[in-house]
Amino acid sequence: MVHSPPGWNDNGGFQMNIRSLLYWLARILGDVNAVRRGRIGQRIVRRVAGKATGRALRKTLR
């Protein structure tokens, strides 16, 4: 579940601000911590539920 950092573009250039780097790093560290504690399944379920909620709210508020 490792993702490339936000801001990478196709020609190898790097455009990223500090906030997006910190959020990306926090997400990766959270994944690592969940694996170490044996709670990766719970984390995946919560992440999927959060994405579904966000999409539903986005549709509702349009």
Residues 19, 32 contacting (CB under 8 angstroms): no
- pLDDT confidence of residue 17: 81
The three-state secondary structure class of 58 is: helix
- pLDDT confidence of residue 28: 95
Mean pLDDT, range 52-58, rounded to an integer = 95
Residues 2, 28 contacting (CB under 8 angstroms): yes
Residues 7, 20 contacting (CB under 8 angstroms): yes
Write out pLDDT tens, residues 9-24.
555 556 668 888 899 9
Kindly tell me the burial class for residue 40, based on how many C-beta atoms sit within 10 Å of its own C-beta (0-12, 13-18, 19 or more): middle
Write out pLDDT tens, residues 26-49.
999 999 999 999 999 999 999 999
